[in-house]
Structure 1
Amino acid sequence: MIKLKISVITINFNNAEGLQKTIESVVNQKNALIEYLVIDGGSTDRSVELIEEHSGKIAYYVSEKDSGVYDAMNKGIKASTGDYLIFLNSGDVFVSEDVIAEAVKVGFEADLVSGNMIYNNNGERRKWIPADQLTFSLFYFTGIPHPSTFIKRTLFDIVGLYDENLTIVSDWKFFILAACKHSCSYQHIDKFISEFSEDGMSSAPENIPTILKEREQVINDHFSAFMPDYEELWAAKKQLRKLRYTIKIKKFFGIR
């Protein structure tokens, strides 16, 4: 039986504390064939020192300026040689030391293999269990967890690299194009893979308008026939949110 090689790619910029946790989480993985790549954006803190301290277990690393997170990810993709790739950015960690080995043991049968993910917001944790099947409507409001998804290396040859013109949702764009335009295969494995630190761009409330704008742009550019449905669903969601808020306020003040 041929052992799958998993390329783990970490993106970092001036987050030495988070990077240390991530590096330790990766290099301590047991019984798995892992190629570890670290792409640093020219950090001025202790990040490069940390990378060099672990250079014996890092297959490839670079520290240089980039145009953004997706430029950095694309550098990692181009340098990788694994059968599957997974992105674990600085501050994120794998849930255990044998999680990669256990995930591979299940048997990867698809282009995209998604496991479960834990959100960590300053110690407050919640779970994300991805869907068992990918549908277009799923991507209206969510998608699949990037840090818990193994991506077949050859899928980037079909779909293309991450869109560097987008600032936050390029991984979401890659997944919706892979699933809904290129009909890639998908597999959900019911195992927790990673813990995601909610201090990144995609988790900041102030970035929600940018996220929505970029998603609308992707749908309009690639799935324009579904744009009216997308707008209608978001309008309905906003109305539902207002209704829930009104009910909550009335309940608080005892208003019927």
Structure 2
Amino acid sequence: MKVSIITAVYNRVETISHTLESVLEQTHPDIEYIVVDGMSNDGTESIVSRYSDRIDRQVREKDQGIYDALNKGIRMASGDVVGLLHADDFFAHRDVVANIVQEFSEDHSTMGVYGDLVYVDCHEPTRRVRRWKSGDYEVSKYRWGWMPPHPTVYFRRECYLRHGLFRDDFHFAADYELLLRMMLVNRVPMRYIPQTLVCMRVGGLSNASFSNRMQANREDAKAWTVNGLRPPWALRLLKPMRKIYQYF
């Protein structure tokens, strides 16, 4: 089974090599690696170029943000399964992709899989800050602020062809909207892998400032309305409150 992995990067000179190596060290033999660089100017390009003979497809051009870059990568992907690994993230171990493939292979009706994610210190990535434990999926969970960590989610490519890519009218919560659309609206059959798949350095676009967080909250509600659903009345409280349990 061929797996396409997409990394979108812009000015991540300090972390990109760790991300690249964590993909290239995976034990699964059939990986298509796609790197989309939004014209970095901090030395990222020179680091990526060192791995060019092991990266299947590279794009270096201006984009409209991370979701636009990810959409470019998804459109280029030719794998049976597509996943994302951001430029600040890395796989938890060398068998992550192999384990994901095993889940798809065991049940051919499975259209997506997801797992757990660990947040690590940006300067000391071996130090865990908190853990996002997903748990088994139930449709009702979305109404209580649940979502899986999107860097751990892998869909069959046909899901994107059938249900669409990231929406370009979202700036902070396009990942939430896409997962809501896939899992709740279209009921894509999912399987949960009860293990840590990805480590993410603390930070992120939606958490970068209070104003960004407020905008992300508004987009969380918008994710429901654009899909013809009424957002839960307490969504703005329930979704952030779920993070509290990640510290214990």
The alpha-carbon deviation at position 150 of structure 1 amounts to 1.0
1:198 maps onto 2:202 in alignment:
yes
Instruction: Kindly indicate whether residue 126 of structure 2 is the aligned counterpart of residue 115 of structure 1.
Output: no
| Contact residue 74 and residue 162 of structure 1 kept, 8 A | yes
Larger Rg: 1
Show the counterpart of 1:146.
150
Q: Secondary structure at the residue paired with 2:224?
A: helix
TM-score, length-normalised on structure 2?
0.86
CA distance in structure 2 between the partners assigned to 1:211 and 1:55 by the alignment? 35
Partner of 2:193: 189
Partner of 1:102 in structure 2?
99
Could you say which residue in structure 1 is the equivalent of 2:221? 216
Could you list the per-position Cα deviations for residues 48-72 of structure 1 after superposition, in whole angstroms to 9, with x for gaps in the alignment? 1111110111000111110111110
Paired with 2:83 and 2:144, the residues of 1 have a C-alpha distance of 23
Instruction: Report if the CA contact (8 A) 1:120-1:197 is conserved.
Output: yes
The C-alpha deviation readout for 1:121-160, integer Å capped at 9, x for no partner, is 4434321121312324425523111111111100011211
2:233 partner letter: E
- Give the total of aligned pairs: 232
Q: How far apart are the structure 1 equivalents of 2:143 and 2:5?
A: 25
Q: Which 4+ residue blocks in structure 1 deviate beyond 6 angstroms?
A: none
Residue 160 of structure 1 pairs with residue 164 of structure 2 = yes
Aligned to 2:73, the other structure's residue is in SS state helix
Residue 231 of structure 1 corresponds to which residue in structure 2? Answer: 233
Counterpart position of 1:252 = none
Q: Which among 30, 37, 57 is matched to residue 40 of structure 1? A: 37
Change (3 A) 1:71 1:138: same
- For residue 244 of structure 2, what is the aligned residue in structure 1? none
3-state DSSP class of the match of 1:16? coil
Q: Secondary structure at the match of 1:37?
A: strand
Please state which structure has a larger fraction of its residues in helix. 1
Identity within the alignment, %: 27
Residues 99 and 218 (structure 1), Cα distance of their counterparts in 2 relative to 1, 3 Å cut:
closer
Structure 1 residues 58-88: Cα deviation after superposition (integer angstroms, max 9, x where no partner)? 0001111101111100000011111111111
Pair 1:104–1:139, CA change in 2 (3 A): farther
Superposition TM-score, scaled by structure 1 size: 0.84
Q: Structure 1 residue 179: deviation in Å? A: 1.4
Distance in 1 between residues matched to 2:138 and 2:209, nearest whole Å = 26
Match of 1:83 among 80, 99, 117: 80
Given that 1:10 and 1:88 are in contact with CA atoms closer than 8 Å, whether structure 2 keeps it comes out as yes
What CA distance in whole angstroms lies between the structure 1 residues aligned with 2:222 and 2:128? 33
Instruction: From 12, 17, 25, give the equivalent of 2:14.
Output: 17
2:103, 2:113 within 8 Å by CA — same for their partners in 1? no
